[in-house]
Chain A
Amino acid sequence: MSLDIFLQNIVNGLSLGSLYALIAIGYTMVYGILRLINFAHGEIFMLGTYFLYYGVLIFHLPWWLSFIVAIVLTAITGMLTERIAYRPLRKAPKISILISAIGVSFFLQNAGIVIFSGVPKSFARPEIFDKMFILGNTRISSINLASTFISVIFLMALLYVVYETKTGLAMRSISTDMETARLMAVNVDRTISITFAIGSALAAVGGILWALKYPQIFPLMGMIPGLKAFIAAVLGGIGNIVGAMIGGFILGMAEILLVGFMPQLSGYRDAFAFIILILILLFKPDGLMGKNVQEKV
């Protein structure tokens, strides 16, 4: 592989990885607080793309406005799923809420097929994302640059919220000890809603960038990226936000480089991600940044 192609692969890997990172955040934040794998997260991602699609196509909103509307609507959808399907089960055994999440996932997929039809829709992207930058012999598409850039901005904003604001402090306290957080007068229900809103908003951003990159959307499109992002979250150490980001970038990069170095294996791309999951669960189930908290009693 020449250096040029290698560099190109690095950019592609960063771009894909940043999308995994955005989606993985939603899994890891919800897990951190509720110890729930939110299997409906891939569908939230899918809905984000449809909200944008209809915003542009039916309501003829300008791109930037549809982008914002889609993010807000997706965030609201995420909050509603928590309110309707998870909150009533918070005191139930963990398996009930997990099954509820799987139910929400199937429901949203099938509702998507009924409402949007199962036929894939092509996602017309603005021309600006069709440009190519040529650096020497390396060709970099503007969508790859833009998606990396936009993702990094959102990820930094998230870190700020989680580590520097009062809401973030509330989130971190709930994820360690919900009961004591209540004793500190933390509004647990509201904070959980905000967590779902943030995770879903980031999934919407990821979904939209995904659809700009691979411009075709369909109701089941959330499954594979959702699973991959879940793998990224486990890889980084589920419950750990920085871990999810790192896991996302590693997974994206690994996938692209695998295909780059061994094009004959490109059909096994998805299988490769699952092999990573199995290896992580076998050898380092806490993930790369797994919890290293010592508790003194």
Chain B
Amino acid sequence: MLRVEDLHVHYGGIHALKGINFEVPAQKIVTLIGANGAGKSTTLRTICGLVDKSQGSIYYEDKDINDFDTRQRTIGGLVMVPEGRRIFPNLTVYENLKLGAFKRNDTDGIKKDLKWVYELFPRLEERLQQKGGTLSGGEQQMLAVARALMSKPRLLLMDEPSLGLAPLLVQEIFEIIEEINSQGTTILLIEQNAYAALKVADYAYVLETGQIIIEGPGDELLQNDEVKKAYLGG
């Protein structure tokens, strides 16, 4: 569904990505793990068109998306849950969700998806008229995911969804990621919480200073000694 070939990115003089290759097959959960500054966020932002690549190609549904801007990629179903949630704090929860559905005109479909999102996140439905900025951190993360779902993603890119959440909420978020995936949405997940990410992932890549150093099925990497030592705390 997504294929990244020899991707290089320069970021203000820094060679942030040094020719990475990876693939996200349809219907799967793929994860990129790695330490801070390894280039995980840069990878996602480049896929969304928020950062310009200096070399390489990105194929989405077998098309080179080089000429499409962020908006067109979103319209095409390539949707991101950005790092740090980035919900709109001065807009209501409902308005945030409506922005997720901004590209759509199918009123009935939007209603149906709102219902689905309320089922996934009942707490959001209780807070529809509240300003996004008044939600707790966990609720904001739920809103960010819900908002992305309103964009009808075919491939959902998630940048550190568990960051800053209490352990119980982290578990909840990963359950929801699996639930979304089981409904047919492909997921590319970026995480520092390597253990949780590897557990849900069908396939995983380990990124270190702009290069992919290890790859393999999620459960295999969980047993990999190198991964264990560097990312799973022994």
Q: A interface vs B, CB < 8 Å?
A: 166, 169-170, 172-173, 176-177, 179-188, 291, 293-297
Contacts and interface: CB of A to CB of B under 8 A. Distances in A.
B102 A180 contact: no
A234 B71 CA distance: 33
A294 B102 CA distance: 25
A244 B161 CA distance: 38
Given A172-B91, A185-B151, A294-B133, A180 B71 contact: no
A127 B80 CA distance: 60
B90 A170 contact: no
A184 B100 contact: yes
Nearest to A182: B70
A166 B103 CA distance: 10
A176 B89 contact: yes
Contacts of A184: 74, 99-100, 102-103, 147, 151
B34 interface: no
Nearest to A190: B71
A169 B86 contact: no
A183 B70 contact: yes
Interface residues of B, number: 32
A144 to B, nearest CB: 36
Interface string B19-63: 000000000000000000000000000001010000000000000
B140 A296 contact: yes
Interface in B102-152: 102-103, 131, 133-137, 140, 147, 151
A291 to B, nearest CB: 8
Given A182-B70, A182-B71, A184-B102, A295 B133 contact: yes
7 contacts: A169-B91, A182-B71, A183-B80, A183-B86, A184-B103, A184-B147, A296-B137
B90 A176 contact: yes
Given A183-B82, A184-B99, A185-B103, A176 B74 contact: no
B201 to A, nearest CB: 23
Contacts, number: 76
Nearest to B84: A297
Given A166-B102, A169-B95, A293-B133, A187 B90 contact: no
A182 B50 CA distance: 9
Given A177-B88, A293-B89, A186 B102 contact: yes
A9 B84 CA distance: 52
Contacts of B91: 169, 172-173, 176
Interface in B74-103: 74-75, 79-80, 82, 84, 86, 88-91, 95, 98-100, 102-103
Contacts of A172: 88, 90-91, 95
A221 to B, nearest CB: 36
Given A183-B70, A296-B137, 5 more contacts: A169-B98, A176-B91, A184-B100, A293-B131, A294-B134
Contacts of A293: 89-90, 131, 133
Contacts of B80: 183
A173 B99 CA distance: 8
Contacts of B135: 296
Nearest to A186: B102
Nearest to A181: B99
B167 to A, nearest CB: 19
A296 B133 contact: yes
B50 A170 contact: no
B148 to A, nearest CB: 8
B88 A296 contact: no
A183 B74 contact: yes
